[in-house]
Structure 1
Amino acid sequence: MYTQSFLLFVLAILGGYLFSIVHIPLPWTLGPLVMGVIWKTGTNKPVYWPKKIRNIGMVILGFMMGSPFTPAVAHQVLYQLPAMLTITLVLISLCLATGYIVGRYTGVGLANSIIGSIPGGLSQMSIICEETKGTDVSVVTLMQTVRVITVVFTVPLLALHGIADKVSPASRLLSTMSFSELPMLILFAVAILSLIKLAKRLHISNVYVISPVLGTALLVLSGFEAPALPNSVIALAQIFVGIRMGIDVDFGSLSNWKTIALSSLLSVSAVIGILFGIAFIFSQLYSMSLVTAFISMSPGGMSEMGLTAITANADLPTVVSYQLFRLLFVLVVCVPAVRWWLRKNCS
């Protein structure tokens, strides 16, 4: 089992290196993701990659996302709260509308298509399935997986090779860490781990995404300077996350997976296209760059969109703020509302 994991890890490094050579966006995330899919499909056997390792990667990336939150940035974020709410409502409405259409024309079921289209996490959507009659976890997981992969591949490609004025390495904010920064790094680590522990006790979802970002941001806002991490550590964190994303893809469990995957691909692509137009309007209204607005609105993961923002020289705090606000809104407002609606109309 551990030998298999080691071989997968080596292949993931190779995938990331190859993707970086051919200048594919987010090479150290997408390369391992693709290798994970190939490994799982080629061996046709269960693949072992511990979630704990993935979580370590998420904590590291969360630390990186929270480090730019200075008081000036926080003030700017508060100013944009109405815009965040508007964009979140528009995005969720678009996703639910396309999900409704997919459910009506593919036969996968309205409950499955609605839950599968919510721009939230895979784990949260599977929990809703367990609590909602008439749902199929395999269908929802496949739809969510297609959504995430489509966004993770499409948005960086458009942002970096379509609308970004300048592209930098994904590690432009990070270099090397001196020994003198070690005590400060320990302080941040203790704060993040404590916040994760507290969030678990409160049964908060996505603790390994939200807690590192909030913990780091709160310390930075309090006057502590977040130390820089070595580039190799950031790349390793992306590999940890990318491998898990790849092996979570499961096409073989459904006989009609091609229909579900294609319909999900088309619906997500339509949402991305519409958001691009809305991003242009918002970039004019709020004096932000088009690439910042587009990445901020995209229904992808916060870590992937944050890395895309760094590479595209977008405003990282703005992107993370929009993504974090959407995630919290989905978990606190959207999920309970959808669960109530489905119980009322699909029971």
Structure 2
Amino acid sequence: MHKQSLVIFVLAAAGGFLFSLLHLPLPWTLGPLAMAIIWKTLLGKVAYWPKKRRNMGLIVLGYMMGSPFTLSVAQQIAQQLPIMLLTTVILIALCLGTGYLAERYTSIGLANSLIGSIPGGLSQMSVICEETKGTSVSVVTLMQTVRVVTVVFTVPLLALHGIATHVTPAAMSTVSHMDLSQLPILAIFLATILAFVKLAKRLHISNIYVICPVLGTALLTLSGLHAPVLPAPVISLAQIFVGIRMGLDVDFGSLANWKKISVINLFTVLMVILLLLGVSYIFSLIYPVSFVTAFISMAPGGMSEMALTAISANADFPTVVAYQLFRLLFILLVCVPVTKWLIQKKLYRI
């Protein structure tokens, strides 16, 4: 490993460990991201972290996001497809609408504001930004980071201490090591994902390291093949690989108004969450689903964080996973391509 890469990796791992000790959200992504920003931007040090390593991390994270797509989840999506589509469109419309308002006060450009407001995942939107003309990775990463941190702190607080009638402690299942007998199955998943990536490259499809791992894994689990649970250190390592690159891509030197962007984006995210409270309450009155289940299902947060919140709040776990996974796939396969096309065709005044 390159000396500069080794230094930033050690610092990033230390940042992830510190964030974990402090019980901060997404510690192994936001910790390395923060350390990379401090090292490169604030201290002015030279850092090197190739995109190839970031892409390796994305494959692992994509595998994790696609693994819940079992046959039962697929059946639930099929049964509630119209409602899932409606709620997803409402959420995206709220996010894009508040993003448009944020651009009016920050002048960051509508392309940055739209991509930065799409609730498609911190690492995924940063990668997509690289492939969209007229956007800044620094601005989009900053906006997505503010969104994720706000959602991860606010939604569990509202769900567990404001909506849920009964709360139980819960923890996501993690393993420190993997059963070696699962390695052949894991190899099948990896081979499928790499085949998807190779095919997507030939077809000149964008966002391949975001979409291909999710789709490849989802198709195999849908066929009945159980996705092995990855050891916790592997998952943490993947997040470090992604977090480092995201932090190095942020350049506050080019963002004279980064404080203003952060504050306004914070208020727009809070506005979306409050509006979703109303939407989810109306949804719970019309359909046979609890208020807390509807709220967590629609929340624009990470799947793992929302799943943990659902377990603790005694919400309907399969419903939450189904809605969150459908939203992720819809954003990656429909929302982002359409938004990029509109931006590139200059149908917006950017």
Question: Is the shorter-chain TM-score for this pair beyond 0.5, marking a shared fold?
Answer: yes
Alignment-derived partner of residue 340 in structure 2: 335
Query: Compared with structure 1, are the counterparts of its residues 155 and 107 closer, same or farther at alpha carbon in structure 2 (3 Å cutoff)?
Result: closer
1:43-62 alignment to 2 at 5 Å?
A: 43-62=43-62
Identical columns (%): 50
Residue 84 (structure 1) aligns with: 84
Contact 1:159-1:291 within 8 A present in 2 as well = no
Aligned to 2:304: 307
Per-residue CA deviation, residues 145-169 of structure 1 (Å, 9 max, x unaligned), is: 2321012212222244442434544
When residues 27 and 291 of structure 1 are mapped into structure 2, their CA distance, relative to the original with a 3 A threshold, is: farther
Cα distance in 1 for partners of 2:298, 2:326 equals: 11
8 Å CA contact 1:99–1:113 kept in 2: the answer is: yes
**Does residue 1:155 correspond to 2:151, yes or no?**
yes
- 2:330 maps to 1:325: yes
Report the 3-state secondary structure (helix = DSSP H, G, I; strand = E; otherwise coil) of the residue aligned with 1:203. Answer: coil
TM-score, normalising length: structure 1: 0.83
The question of whether the paired residues in 2 share the 8 Å contact of 1:62 and 1:209 is answered with: yes
In the TM superposition, residue 189 of structure 1 has moved relative to its aligned partner by 0.9
Alpha-carbon distance in 2 for matches of 1:225, 1:90: 33
Q: Distance in 1 between matches of 2:348 and 2:62?
A: 38
Cα distance between partner residues in 2 of 1:40 and 1:283: 48
C-alpha RMSD of matched pairs (Å): 2.9
The letter of the residue matching 1:49 is W
Letter in 2 for 1:311: L
Contact kept, 8 Å, 2:193 with 2:213, in 1: the verdict is yes
Shifted more, 32-41 versus 182-191: the winner is 32-41
Describe the SS at the equivalent of 1:28: helix
TM-fit CA distance, 1:298 = 4.2
* 2:66 aligned residue: 66
**How many Å apart are 1:14 and its aligned residue?**
1.9
1:203 matches 2:208:
no
Q: 1:231-246, aligned counterparts within 5 Å?
A: 231-246=232-247
Question: Is residue 126 of structure 2 the alignment partner of residue 129 of structure 1?
Answer: no
Corresponding position of 2:192: 191
User: What stretches of structure 1 move > 6 A for 4+ residues in a row?
Assistant: none
More moved, 151-160 vs 50-59: 151-160
Following superposition, the deviation at residue 202 of structure 1 comes to 1.9
Letter in 1 for 2:92: I
Q: Which moved more, 1:119-128 or 1:2-11?
A: 119-128
Contact 1:146 1:261 in 2 (8 A): yes
In structure 2, how many angstroms separate the alpha carbons of the residues matched to 1:126 and 1:212? 19
Distance 1:217 1:119, change over 3 A: closer
Counterpart code for 2:275? I
Query: Structure 1 CA distance, aligned partners of 2:61 and 2:112?
Result: 31
Residue aligning to 1:134? none
1:99 paired with 2:116, answer no
Deviates more, 1:52-61 or 1:119-128: 119-128
Q: CA deviation at 1:124?
A: 3.4
Q: Which residue number in structure 2 is paired with residue 21 of structure 1?
A: 21
Conservation of the 8 A alpha-carbon contact between 1:62 and 1:213: yes
Distance in 2 (CA, whole Å) between partners of 1:284 and 1:103 is 35
Distance 1:95 1:13 in 2: 32
CA deviations over 1:24-58 (Å, ceiling 9, x no partner):
22222222222222222332244322222121112
The structural deviation recorded for 1:193 is: 0.8
Structure 2 runs not aligned, ≥5 long: 161-166, 312-316
Residue 273 of structure 1: CA displacement? Answer: 3.0
Residue of structure 2 in register with 1:219 after alignment: 220
Provide the residue aligned with 1:145 in structure 2. Answer: 141
Please state if 1:297 is matched with 2:301: no
Equivalent position SS for 2:225 = coil
